[in-house]
Amino acid sequence: MTTKESFMTSFQSAMGQVLQISMRSFWRYTRKRGLTMPQMFALRYIYYKGESNISDIAKELGVTGAAASQMLDRLVGQRLILRQEDPHDRRNKRLTLTKGGRGLLRESAESQCQWLDALFASMSPDELEKVTEAMDILTERTSDLVEAQPGNKSPRGEPCQ
């Protein structure tokens, strides 16, 4: 039987390595596209929340509305988001992703997954079966924990191909 300490050590080690290699790929992609992390955050926020406004993004980033608006201007200029007046309140601007914005997010997710091909190729069929079973258990248990917290929804990531 696995102890809590050995579980914690194994889990933290594995997740640390997964996050490090995945995020390194994501950072490289972001820099290559000439985007900042706050801009990527804004794109992902709009993707998961749907139609948003400037104050939503400013609040999430912890910046002023003016700072968020300037950052979003660059995304509009790159044709990654569309900013339109709210027909019910002209002071409010609605933000939506363009086709290009959705494509960029899809590419960024793919860049985070490329290393998985090498990992997959390095494992035996028996190892793959064991790891897949363990990951399915972790996904189920963590989903239960997220759903148990009021108002907390975790977006399911797109599966890597």
pLDDT digits (tens, 9 = 90+) for 104-139: 999 998 888 888 888 999 999 999 999 999 999 999
Mean pLDDT over each residue of the chain, to the nearest integer:
88
Are 47 and 98 contacting, i.e. CB atoms less than 8 angstroms apart?
A: no
Whole-number Å distance between alpha carbons of 57 and 52: 8
Q: Is residue 2 part of a domain?
A: no
Q: Is residue 92 part of a domain?
A: yes
Taking each helix axis from N to C terminus, what angle separates 4-32 and 37-49, rounded to the nearest 10 degrees? 110
The DSSP line for 50-101 is: -SEEHHHHHHHHT--HHHHHHHHHHHHHTTSEEEEEETTEEEEEEEEE-HHH
Q: Residue 161's pLDDT is what? A: 56
Q: Is residue 38 part of a domain?
A: yes
State which residues form the domain around 82: 20-116
For 32, the token pair is 């290559």
Are 51 and 93 contacting, i.e. CB atoms less than 8 angstroms apart?
A: no
Q: Is residue 39 part of a domain?
A: yes
Q: Is residue 58 part of a domain?
A: yes
Q: What is the CATH number of the domain that holds 97?
A: 1.10.10.10
Whole-number Å distance between alpha carbons of 37 and 43: 10
Domain tally, the chain:
1
Q: Show the low-confidence residues of the chain (pLDDT under 50).
A: 154
Nearest to 21 by CA among 106, 117, 133: 117
CA distances from 111 to 24, 40, 81, 100, 117 (A): 10, 14, 21, 16, 11
Q: Is residue 8 part of a domain?
A: no
Q: Is residue 12 part of a domain?
A: no
Q: Residue 128's pLDDT is what? A: 96
